[in-house]
Chain A
Amino acid sequence: MFEAILLTVITAATPLVIAALGELVTERAGVLNLGVEGMMIMGAVCAFAATQMTGSPYIGIVAGIVGGGLFSLLFGFLTLTLVANQVATGLALTILGLGISGQLGESFVGQPGIKLQPIVIPLLSDIPFFGRVLFAQDLTFYLSIALVIGINWFLFNSRRGLKLRAIGDNHGSAHALGINVIRTRYLAVLFGGACAGLAGAQLSLVYTPQWVENMSAGRGWIALALVVFASWRPWRVLAGGYLFGAVTIGQLHAQAFGIGIPSQVLSALPYVATIVVLIIISHNRRTTLINTPASLGKAFVPDR
């Protein structure tokens, strides 16, 4: 019983963790992409469509990553090349993504999907208590853990990571030092889009293997809040993601038991939790200021 709940918590947390990690890298480079929800839903529909057409959910995963990534380039072009307002463009990306995915996915509504099967690692999965939870998961879970480790190493132990953080903290100085600000930011945006696409693929191939319009249901926005919650640190994203996963699953179980609270109140819990967490994290102005990438959301036009 406990193991089963833990498994569902992980499944609910994985898309949040992956999408938030991608956005974390984008924001560390100083770009605020509010279009996570749109890129996520594009990833979900591309992954589902490719899986239905080829029969392989692994091709679906790739399609989700490619779909989310390509879609993010649209944001990149507008905000980095044409220096459009990042907040407005991010909103546009979300609106357009929800529209296009609804249109693309129309013929898939109601079709039974193909679920991405778990990869059971022999021996390790036989470890009592946590073996099955950690070592008999699907590919997206392993990827999410690899991403946390990889991004943490990249940001804080590699030269390129240092450059990326420098751009996010002061794009003027970074440019003066000869770092290509725009190119790095394009790559960071692309990475964020690919991660959001992967997170979307997880939704339509693992979490609920089917296509439902608007199936991301605000998860992209929760992922954005998670980045703030994690104060732009990968390991804290993991912790925050599991916290939100636990709230989501907890309220679902509470609904199933029918403990006399209206289902709508329980459904609202993840959103209320997001607000509460944001209050706790942001109320200390000074620490927020220290943690936030200083150039976040500011446009950069190179002076030549």
Chain B
Amino acid sequence: MRIELQKRARVSTLFSVLSPLLALVLTLIGGAILFWALGKNPGSALYSFFIEPLLEVWSLHELAVKAAPLILIAVGLSICYRSNNWNIGAEGQFTIGAITGSILPVLYPEWHSPMILPLMLLMGIAGGALYAGIPALLKTRFNTNEILTSLMLVYIAQLFLDWLVRGPWRDPQGYNFPQTKSFQIEAVLPEMLASGRAHWGFAFAIIAAVALWFMMRFMLKGFEVQVLGQSERAGRFAGFSARRMVWFSMLVSGGLAGLAGISEVSGSIGHVQPSISPGYGFTAIIVAFLGRLNPLGIIASGLVLALTYLGGEAAQLSIGISDKVSRVFQGLLLFFVLSCDTLIHYRIRLIFAGSQAEAKG
């Protein structure tokens, strides 16, 4: 048997919508097999992984808390990937955003002004954008591969954070724990509703997604992103600069990752510590692709991926499987998304040995 691809005359709108859903179904089937292999009842395992976290108010709040950074980072990445700039160092930009945003509350814990929070958010955005500016500079100035440089910068950012909270930023009254003082109340990103923990980071995520959707759909800049992504040559004829697009996409995605970082630290953790992210920056790559690089689709896919984090925690408690299963789920999901996307551009035909001989004859 052989698999042959046949290019469709035009992009299939049906499969553009269906492919992410198909990928989800396939992931669930893969998950059921995985649970069965681990000796668990697949039905009840999937229930506690994907349904249980949706049944209570507090866990819906947790869902929003986890979806906020994923959506914020992923909409930024979608601009990068659409324009063919492969920023995979969002985890590092998230970390640096969290650090620069925390400068004020850590160094001036006595400063009680309503100004502090907006300043923190701005500094977080600036920090993330500047950090993403490094691979942008290297790519435009020295022609360096942004995939490798942005990833190396992740490790460097994490080590820098580690040094800060174990060294100069450590709380002297913190019983030697490697973390800063808890932020003053004015520096904490408030909750959106009285009923739970979901903070304003989620609102930022929705606003960012809608704004970037508007840009991609109705503004010249969005068109520029798409043209340069599909053909740099065509873009040059239209007078668009690929070099400036590198800067634009990297700064936007870095800034959003930085905003995600400071929102997470200020809204959800309340101080700075060595580990501030369960890999949001990398999971956001999956979110971006599952959302088909469309900012509105990314809102939905961000919620789905947030559910895998929550489900992992829930399943660990209720059926005693390791929360590492959620990483496997996330990887599987990305695989299925990428393979289902083939259906959008190609018809897949299975060719069996008999018909092959016929075709040749």
Contacts and interface: CB of A to CB of B under 8 A. Distances in A.
Interface of A: 34, 74, 78, 81-85, 87-89, 91-92, 95-100, 102-103, 106, 218, 221, 224-225, 228, 262, 264-265, 267-268, 271-272, 274-275, 278-279, 282-283, 285, 288, 301, 304
15 contacts: A82-B339, A85-B338, A92-B334, A92-B338, A95-B286, A95-B334, A96-B331, A103-B325, A218-B155, A225-B148, A265-B163, A268-B155, A282-B145, A301-B5, A301-B7
Given A78-B335, A95-B282, A279-B144, A103 B324 contact: yes
Contacts of B282: 95
B341 interface: yes
Interface of A is mostly: helix
A285 B88 CA distance: 23
Given A103-B324, A282-B142, A78 B338 contact: yes
A233 B145 CA distance: 18
B327 A102 contact: yes
B3 A283 contact: no
Given A82-B5, A275-B148, 6 more contacts: A82-B339, A82-B342, A83-B5, A87-B86, A103-B327, A272-B152
Contacts of B330: 95, 99
B331 A92 contact: yes
B91 to A, nearest CB: 12
B3 A81 contact: yes
Contact of A278 (B145, B332, B334, B335): B145
Contacts of B88: 91
B325 A84 contact: no
B20 to A, nearest CB: 14
A225 B145 CA distance: 9
Top-6 shortest CB links A-B: A96-B331, A99-B327, A264-B163, A92-B334, A99-B328, A264-B159
Interface string B333-351: 0110011011000101000
Contact of B159 (A34, A267, A282): A267
A302 to B, nearest CB: 9
Nearest to A265: B163
A271 B152 contact: yes
B148 A274 contact: yes
A193 to B, nearest CB: 15
B17 interface: no
A264 B86 contact: no
A91 B285 contact: yes
Contacts of A278: 138, 144-145, 148-149
B207 interface: no
B230 interface: no
Interface of B: 3-5, 7, 81, 86, 88, 138, 142-145, 147-149, 151-153, 155-156, 159-160, 162-163, 167, 282, 285-286, 289, 322, 324-332, 334-335, 338-339, 341-342, 346, 348
Given A225-B148, A228-B145, A279 B163 contact: no
A104 B341 CA distance: 29
Contacts of B329: 99
B148 A106 contact: no
A88 B339 contact: no
Nearest to B135: A275
A34 B151 CA distance: 12
A99 B279 CA distance: 12
A221 B152 contact: yes
Contacts of A74: 335
Contacts of A82: 3, 5, 338-339, 342, 348
A97 B330 CA distance: 11
Given A95-B330, A301-B7, A275 B138 contact: yes
Contacts of B332: 96
A83 B342 contact: yes
B210 to A, nearest CB: 25
Given A81-B3, A282-B144, A275 B341 contact: no
Contact of B156 (A89, A98, A272): A272
Contacts of B5: 82-83, 301
Contacts of A87: 86, 147
A28 B10 CA distance: 33
A106 B342 contact: no
B145 A106 contact: no
A72 B324 CA distance: 21
B328 A100 contact: yes
A98 B326 CA distance: 11
A96 B346 CA distance: 25
A271 B150 CA distance: 11
A152 to B, nearest CB: 24
Contact of A221 (B4, B148, B163, B335): B148
A268 B158 CA distance: 9
A99 B348 CA distance: 30
Contacts of B348: 82
A226 to B, nearest CB: 10
A283 B142 contact: yes
Nearest to A90: B147
Nearest to B325: A103
Contacts of B155: 218, 268, 271
Contacts of B335: 74, 78, 89, 92, 96
Nearest to A89: B338
A261 to B, nearest CB: 10
B85 to A, nearest CB: 11
